[in-house]
Amino acid sequence: MEHSADLQVILTKDGSYSLYSPHFDQFYHSIHGSLQESLHIYIDLGLRRFKGPETQPLRIFEMGFGTGLNALLTLQWAHQHQRSVQYVCVEAYPLLPQTVEALHYENLTGQPGLQLLQEAAWGVPLPVSPLFEFTKIATRLQDFTWNEAFFDVIYFDAFAPRVQPELWTHEIFAQVAAFTATGGNLVTYCAKSIVQRALRQAGFVVEKHPGPHGKRHVLRGIKG
């Protein structure tokens, strides 16, 4: 587990902050803008485009809780649209609360609640609000098992294949497909050919979409 003290806070081009990990030689978000990347890929392409019954909770799984920005934006979306959301995420390298505080995401988004998400007990569902239930699990994706209701939207936000190739295989995507509802969306920033092939092998119909500023393409996979 990487200690947060090793991470460096950086300012991205849209005025929002992110982190750089010397251990992985990776940024946690696009240097062109952490906020615009999360909104474009996970909220707009993944969450908004899922067409499911509004009478049922929307179930979301995130691979890589990280800074909590995607979860915070989803909490904000749930309140704005009055949709019930059940949010589950895994994280193998948890951050210290003070590291996340330095990113000022609550001020940036105008949405409180990030501290609650960061300090939530591991493995215990937390009713953050009447519309948002949050569960985070300290584990690797490879070791994650799920025997409850299928997920509607998958935020696949692992570090890049260059540094975590084991998370971008068809075996991993098949594991994810097994707990994704038919017609569910998987969205990710990585549009490499090897990722597209792995998703197709796992049973997803792959769509390539324009990316946020600084990124040509991103992917959405629809569970067949």
Tens digit of pLDDT at every position of the chain (224 positions) = 445 668 999 999 999 999 999 989 999 999 999 999 999 999 999 999 997 888 899 999 999 999 999 999 999 999 999 999 999 999 999 999 889 999 999 999 999 999 999 999 999 999 999 999 999 999 999 999 999 999 999 999 999 999 999 999 999 999 999 999 999 999 999 999 999 999 999 999 999 999 999 999 999 999 99
Residue 157 falls inside a structural domain: yes
pLDDT at position 54: 81
pLDDT for residue 4: 62
- Say if 4 falls within a structural domain: no
Answer yes or no: is 64 within a domain.
Answer: yes
Q: Give a yes or no: residue 26 inside a domain.
A: no
State the residue range of the domain holding 213.
34-223
User: Per the domain annotation, does 14 fall within a domain?
Assistant: no
* Cβ–Cβ under 8 Å, residues 170 and 201: yes
The letter for the amino acid at 94 is P
Give residue 51's pLDDT: 79
Question: What are the Cα distances from residue 163, in Å, to 25, 85, 111, 132?
Answer: 8, 32, 32, 33
Q: Determine the length of the chain.
A: 224
Q: Are 46 and 187 in contact (CB under 8 A)?
A: yes
Quick: pLDDT tens for 166-207. 999 999 999 999 999 999 999 999 999 999 999 999 999 999
Q: Determine the pLDDT at residue 53.
A: 81
User: CA angle 204-194-208, nearest 5°?
Assistant: 55
Torsion, CA 78, CA 185, CA 108, CA 21, rounded to 10: 140
Residue 42 domain flag: yes
The CATH number of the domain holding residue 89 is 3.40.50.150
Report the C-alpha gap between 64 and 127 in whole angstroms: 20
In a domain, 22, yes or no: no
* pLDDT number for residue 6: 87
Report the number of distinct structural domains present in the chain.
1
SS3 59: strand
